[in-house]
Structure 1
Amino acid sequence: MRNTRLLTAVVSAAILLATTGTAASAAPRIGHYVALGDSYTSGPFIPAQRTDPLGCGRSTANYPSVLADALRVGDFDDVSCAGADTTNMTRPQSVPFNGTNPPQLGALRIDTDLVTLGIGGNDFGVFGGIVGTCPGLRKADPTGSPCEEHFTTNGVNTVKTAIGNVVPRVEAVLAAVHERSPGARVLVVGYPRIAPPSGYCPDVLPFADGDYAWLNEVEQELNQALSDAVDADGKATYVDTFGPSRGHDACARGGSAWINGQDQNIFVAAAYHPLKAGMAGIAAVVLKQAR
Structure 2
Amino acid sequence: MPRAALPRTTHTLATADAPRSAGVRKCASVLTGAALLASALTVTTTPASAHAAAPAGTGKYVALGDSYAAGAGVPAQSAGLCLRSDHNYGHLGAAALSPSSYVDKTCAGAKVGALTTAQTDLGIVVNGPQLDAVTPDTSLVTLTLGGNNLGTSDVGFVDVVVACSALSLTNPFGAPCRNFYGDTLSKRLDSAAAQLTDGLRKLSAKAPKAKVVVVGYPAVLPDDPTACFGKMPVTTGDLRFLRSVMGELNEKVERTATAAGATYVDTLAPTKGHDSCSASRWIEGLLPTSPAAPLHPNARGERAMADAVLRALGR
C-alpha distance in structure 2 between counterparts of 1:207 and 1:287, whole Å: 35
Task: Choose from 163, 185, 193 the match for 1:133.
Answer: 163
Question: Is the Cα contact below 8 Å between 2:69 and 2:106 reproduced in 1?
Answer: yes
1:39 is the counterpart of 2:73? no
**Would you say how many aligned residue pairs link Structure 1 and Structure 2?**
259
Shift of 1:28: 6.5
Query: Taking structure 2 as the reference length, what is the TM-score of the superposition?
Result: 0.77
Which residue matches 2:199?
173
C-alpha distance after superposition, 1:198-224 (max 9, x if no partner): 133244333211112111110111111
Match of 1:280 in 2: 303
User: Conserved in 1, the CA contact under 8 Å of 2:56 and 2:313?
Assistant: no
SS of 1:64's partner is helix
Letter in 1 for 2:157: F
Shift of 1:94: 1.2
Once the two structures are overlaid, the 10-residue window that deviates more, 202-211 or 143-152, is 202-211
> Judging changes above 3 Å, is the alpha-carbon distance between structure 1 residues 79 and 225 closer, same or farther for their aligned structure 2 residues?
same
Partner of 2:181: 151
Q: Which of 221, 228, 235 is equivalent to 1:208?
A: 235
Contact 1:38–1:118, Cα closer than 8 Å, also in 2: yes
Moved over 4 A (4+): 13-16, 96-99
Work out whether residues 62 and 105 of structure 2, in 8 Å CA contact, stay in contact via their aligned partners in 1.
yes
Instruction: Give the aligned residue type for 1:278.
Output: G
Displacement of 1:141 after TM fit? 3.1
Secondary structure of the equivalent of 1:165? helix
- Residue 140 of structure 2 is matched in structure 1 by 114
The partner residue of 1:232 within 259, 264, 273 is 259
Distance 1:248 1:174, change over 3 A: same
Q: Secondary structure at the residue paired with 2:271?
A: coil
- For residue 306 of structure 2, what is the amino acid of its counterpart? A
Structure-1-length-normalised TM-score: 0.83
RMSD value over aligned CA atoms?
Answer: 2.1
User: 1-side partners of 2:123 and 2:74: how far apart?
Assistant: 18
Alpha-carbon distance in structure 2 between the residues aligned to 1:176 and 1:236 = 13
> Could you say if the C-alpha distance between residues 170 and 139 of structure 1 is closer, same or farther in structure 2, counting changes exceeding 3 Å?
same
Contact 1:34 1:79 in 2 (8 A): yes
Aligned in 2, Cα 1:84/1:102: closer, same or farther, shift over 3 Å? same
Residues 46-94 of structure 1 show CA distances to partners (whole Å, capped at 9, x for unaligned) of: 11001x3x10011111111111111122211110101111111111111
1:259 aligned partner, one-letter code: I
Percent of paired sites with the same residue: 37
The Cα offsets for residues 119-145 of structure 1, whole Å up to 9 and x where unpaired, read as 011125252541231122334433321
Equivalent residue letter for 1:40: Y
The correspondence for 2:116, drawn from 75, 85, 90, is: 90
More displaced stretch, 162-171 vs 275-284: 162-171
The answer as to whether partners of 1:206 and 1:262 remain within 8 angstroms in 2 is: no
The one-letter code matched in structure 2 to 1:161 is: K
What is the SS of the residue equivalent to 1:110? coil
- Match of 2:149? 123
CA contact (8 A) 1:200 1:212 kept: no
Q: Is the CA contact 2:56–2:211 (under 8 Å) kept in the aligned structure 1? A: no
How far apart, in 1, do the equivalents of 2:191 and 2:56 lie? 37
Give the one of 258, 262, 286 matched to 1:262: 286
Shift of 1:107: 0.5
Query: Once the two structures are superposed, what CA deviation does each residue of 1:175-232 show, in whole Å capped at 9, x if it has no partner?
Result: 1111111111000001111111013324433321111211111011111111111232
